Homo-oligomer: A and B are copies of this chain.
């Protein structure tokens, strides 16, 4: 397991990276995210096209997949397999499984967090009710396992087993991380440290969004089981940069592009790095008012108060602080990339993964 804090042990990016050298790289990342993602999305939509019962199961299951997503996890997994010499047909089931699992997490998280928008539309429970949505999440989980089991005829028993073991580990990490976050909201914790936050996102986000997609991709690409732990640090830094950028976009992003309600995390009381920084920086009077806001039920949280918190975050540099941490983490990920992917052959897939690191902190979606 990687250390829960990062020092400036990686390269760092200047503020204007994208403008200076990134436009073709950003376009390449977009193109390949779209290409790998569409392969996976097509498989998922086909998979859900004929099941019964339709209206209350297979139709809701297809709602999030049909909206445009980032395709980060399957794309990272596929590109890693290709970079290590594997082929698309060998990795597709696993990439589909990772995306189904991500959809399952989204559906349940949205209920757990009381979120209202996802990928530019109403959340599944807002559209179909909580019962149908929870059951749909369970179904997505089950379908994800089915996909991994379908690996057996393509990859053989041993590799299939290894990948299933990766998933088993990942599932436990994710529920533990999610429980930490939910518990902090329920307890109205206002004294969290950055180290606690990083440990939570390692468990909640990094394993399933970055570490395991890399590990599984490498397992399939190399068709062997050697030294996967080198992907842990890379995936941790990458996943943490991704999550912090996600939190920032939630605070300041364009709702139209980002697809969730602006500052939804504040309405949900989520403990983001910016909020933790703010609670640690503000006066005791401000902290008391913040704590009252966070303790009140969501329906009582007013837009006016949210605007006040956003102003406070700007005044105390809390959003800039999170940006600089995301940049450091991305720099650390880039350094670890060279180590983790040292045996991968140069080419489009490897280049894509390298560019993905920068993309993580410069995306607006």
- Which listed segment binds B: A77-85, A164-172, A223-231, A257-265? A164-172
Contact with B along A288-323 (1 / 0, CB 8 A): 000000000000000000000000000000000000
Residues of chain B within 8 A of A135, CB atoms compared: 108, 112, 175, 178-179, 182
Interface check A141, CB cutoff 8 A: yes
- Which listed segment binds B: A49-57, A209-217, A272-280, A340-348? A49-57
Residues of chain B within 8 A of A129, CB atoms compared: 182, 186
A52 to B234 alpha-carbon distance, docked (Å): 25
B141 touches A165 (CB 8 A): no
B112 touches A131 (CB 8 A): yes
Residues of chain B within 8 A of A130, CB atoms compared: 111-112, 130
Residues of chain B within 8 A of A142, CB atoms compared: 168, 171-172, 175
Q: How many residues of A contact B (CB 8 A)?
A: 43
B146 touches A168 (CB 8 A): yes
Interface residue ranges, A against B (CB under 8 Å)? 51-53, 55-57, 108, 111-114, 129-132, 134-139, 141-143, 145-146, 149, 152, 157, 161, 164-165, 168, 171-172, 175-176, 178-180, 182-183, 186
21 inter-chain pairs at a CB distance below 8 angstroms, sorted by A residue, are A52-B176, A53-B179, A56-B183, A56-B186, A57-B176, A57-B179, A57-B183, A108-B138, A111-B130, A112-B130, A112-B131, A112-B134, A112-B135, A135-B179, A138-B141, A138-B175, A138-B178, A146-B168, A146-B172, A149-B168, A164-B164
